[in-house]
Structure 1
Amino acid sequence: MKKILSFALIFLGTASLVFAIALPTYVVPKGKVIPLNTVSSSGTVPTPGILLDSSAVAADKPLSKNASKPECKGKNPEVSCFIGKDTPVQSQRFVVVQEPSNKDIVTLEVGNSVIRTDRKEPQNLLSASVERIQLDRKTQLPVEDPVSTVDLQPGEAQSSEGGFKSSNEPFVRPGVQYQFPMGTDKKSYPYFDIQTMTTHDIDFVGEEDLRGLKTYRFEQDVPPVEIYPGIHDMLAADGKIDKADEAALSTLRLTFPAKKWGLKKDDIKPSAIKKKAEGAANSEDKDNPDVEMSRYYTIKRIINVEPKTGMIVMGQEEVWMYYAQDQDEANKLAEPENREREMANPQRTAMYFPGKWSDATAERISAKAKENADRLTTMGTTLPWILGIVGILLAVIGFVLHRRS
């Protein structure tokens, strides 16, 4: 009887040791994949921002809060007359898994929208997009195939056709965005920005405790980038620009007489002058030519990542979009002194929005990240130690009984 019991204990002890070794070296790595049932949502709190009111521009009617300004009276109000301060803005995001998804890849569909909360639907929509991103489930990074797509809706500037404006042609999407690798490192990562269709590094700056959860804090400062080229190239990838595409591009470059932009004669750049069709010129054009300005984008981004799961548990973005005649002028406007002046008295701002995830969003996602991280710790560290100790004890007891028998 002792001999049988000793063999059983030795077998159980050996099996426990095998499992103790297999869990962290094989089972846990196999389990570090994006779940196929992923569903998540996030949103910022409504935050006072600065906004160029496209509907007011279209109607050529200054906002009521600006109506008393000298430059807003008369038949030709300046662009600044349509810019409202303290406009409540909110962003929302919804992520769900779509086909094709399998043991190797997962396709995420991400819906993003930016709204102003002082208006009812559909007049509250500022912009919206639907992205499809295919990730490698093991590395959590975008696949290197041209399978990503983006559908855009320009919100207030949408065309009469309505609906989403498709990019039509899939493209390669470099860089992280909605998910970091499981086992995030303390290093910089390339980060893809949907606003400009460009990639910039986001830098690790240190560890930070959020709601009892150890996170890695990443920060990014993107210098002024012209939005039009990246979006235009994406929409033109199928070889054409149709009316729906034109609607999506319509607010990214605007042409107004110089005086409407608030430009003095010496401020006008010859390269920005938009020539009129032959025969349409008049004597007034010399002092008040049409000037085309492009929308530029800069952002301060702060992201907190739970490193074991790669889940983003807090997001903050200070977005600023504004119009400039060229890159040099855009860079100059972004200098601290000029930026501060523009924030106080906006003349060129299309949107300024310092968004931060709501407490409800952060608490919900942090709790999910902690649950997943604890499971990985249990499977990869705690359970192997317990199985290892138990296995050694059982094996030793088994050998002792075997010798005595």
Structure 2
Amino acid sequence: MKRILSSVAIVLGVAMLVLAFALPTYVVPKGKVLPLDLVSTTGTPKTPGNLLDSGALASGKPVGDNKDKPECKGDNPQIKCFINKGLEMQSQRFTTAQEPSDKKVVTLEAGQTLFRTDKEEPKNLISASIDHVTLDRKTQMPVPDPTSSIELNAPALDAAAKEGKDEEVEASVAPFTRPGITYQFPMGTDRKSYDYFDMQILKTQPIDYVGEEEQDGEKVYRFEQTVPPTELYPALRERLEADGELSKGDKGTLAALRLKFPAKVWGLKPEEIKNKGSEGEKKADEKKDGENGEGEDKKEDLGPEVEMSRYYTVHRVLRVLPETGVLVNGSEEVFQYYAQDDEDAQRIFDNKEEEINNPTRTAVYFPGAWDDDSRAAQMKKASEGKEKLKLMGTILPWILGVVGLILLVIGWIAHRSARLASK
């Protein structure tokens, strides 16, 4: 009986030692994969920002106290008259795993909305998007196949809005191959820069590691990125045309990215007008000369038609629990505005504080940061994943190794004493 027990102890000891070595070298690496039941919700608190009211612009009705300003009276109020300053807004993102997902890949669907808090649904919507991206569960990076797609939604800026109708426009980006991270860093995040895919400019820009911080007692990595002023229209149009002709929704979405108004409506002085001598300006001058003819009343001189394009810039800060790659905190200072060209856009960006304090070209300015609930929920999920990896990769192997070694020694001593007793 003693010999049997000693043999059992030796076998168990060897098995535990084998398992102790196998857990960190084989089992844990196999377990470092994205779950198939991934779900997360993040949002910002009510945050003051600036917003060009598309409905007010289309109807020609200045917002708030702007209606009392001299430049906002009459038949041709300036663009600045339709910009809400200090308007409270909120952003929300809901991310969940969807099909197709299997043992190798997981598809994430991320729905994001930006809305104003002074109106009820659906009049409160500023913008919305639904993003689909398929990730390799092992590397946590997008698969090299055209599986990513984006759906965009925003209030109409056309005749429907002028008539006071609460219509929205929808556009869909054809499936495309997508590089870079967005919602998840690799498990075992390194202290280095990563390519980050920006939903607005539809391409990647490096997001840089800047240091370590502590959040809720955990060590986290801080990453920062500033996207320089980038024109939105060209990249979006290229994506929308990838699957053929532009739909009505596509055209409606693009319409808000390039606006044309007389120079005076933009608030431009003659010396600030670019591309002078253009065909549009010549026609405007001809029209002006005709209107100033003998016997006719002189109309208000609004200057030439000037087309401006929307530019986008953002300062993004992300904090990541490196062991799991889970985002545990984030903030984005989003700034979109209209400019005549790249040089004009850079000038406005260089004087951003002036534009924020006295908006004249702003489409939206929103300095959003995650609220307390979002940070706590993401940290809880990240910490649980970290503890699971620590248990499987460190604590359990040590316990198994020590117990296995003890059993092996006890078994060997018992087996040796049993042999001596039998002699």
When the two structures are superposed, what TM-score results if normalisation uses the length of structure 2? 0.91
**Is the contact made by 1:126 and 1:156 (CA closer than 8 Å) also made in structure 2?**
no
Give the AA of the match of 1:164.
Answer: E
5 Å matches for 1:4-403?
4-157=4-157, 162=168, 164-167=170-173, 169-270=174-275, 275=280, 282-283=287-288, 288-335=303-350, 338-403=351-416
Between Structure 1 and Structure 2, how many residues are aligned?
A: 402
CA RMSD of aligned residues (A): 2.0
Which has the higher Rg, Structure 1 or Structure 2? 2
**Is the contact made by 1:294 and 1:324 (CA closer than 8 Å) also made in structure 2?**
yes
- Taking the aligned partners of 2:390 and 2:276, their CA distance within structure 1 comes to 60
**Is the contact made by 1:202 and 1:219 (CA closer than 8 Å) also made in structure 2?**
yes
Give the AA of the match of 2:138.
Answer: K
Q: Which range moved further: 265-274 or 368-377?
A: 265-274
1:3 CA displacement: 1.5
Give the AA of the match of 1:204.
Answer: Y
**Is the contact made by 1:116 and 1:125 (CA closer than 8 Å) also made in structure 2?**
yes
Give the AA of the match of 2:222.
Answer: R
**Is the contact made by 2:154 and 2:169 (CA closer than 8 Å) also made in structure 1?**
no
Give the AA of the match of 1:2.
Answer: K
Give the AA of the match of 1:302.
Answer: V
**Is the contact made by 2:229 and 2:313 (CA closer than 8 Å) also made in structure 1?**
yes
Structure 2 CA distance for partners of 1:307 and 1:53, relative to 1, 3 Å: same
Give the AA of the match of 1:19.
Answer: L
Identity of aligned residues (%): 53
- Taking the aligned partners of 1:213 and 1:292, their CA distance within structure 2 comes to 50
Structure 2 CA distance for partners of 1:201 and 1:215, relative to 1, 3 Å: same
Q: Deviations over 1:341-385 (max 9, x none)?
A: 111111111111000111011111111111111111111111111
- Taking the aligned partners of 2:36 and 2:336, their CA distance within structure 1 comes to 36
Structure 2 CA distance for partners of 1:249 and 1:2, relative to 1, 3 Å: same
**Is the contact made by 1:254 and 1:292 (CA closer than 8 Å) also made in structure 2?**
yes
1:64 CA displacement: 2.6
Q: Which range moved further: 63-72 or 282-291?
A: 282-291
Q: Deviations over 1:129-160 (max 9, x none)?
A: 11110000000000111110001112354896
* SS across alignment from 1:164: strand
Where does structure 2 lack aligned partners over 5 or more consecutive residues? 161-166, 291-300, 419-423
When the two structures are superposed, what TM-score results if normalisation uses the length of structure 1? 0.95
- Taking the aligned partners of 1:270 and 1:197, their CA distance within structure 2 comes to 28
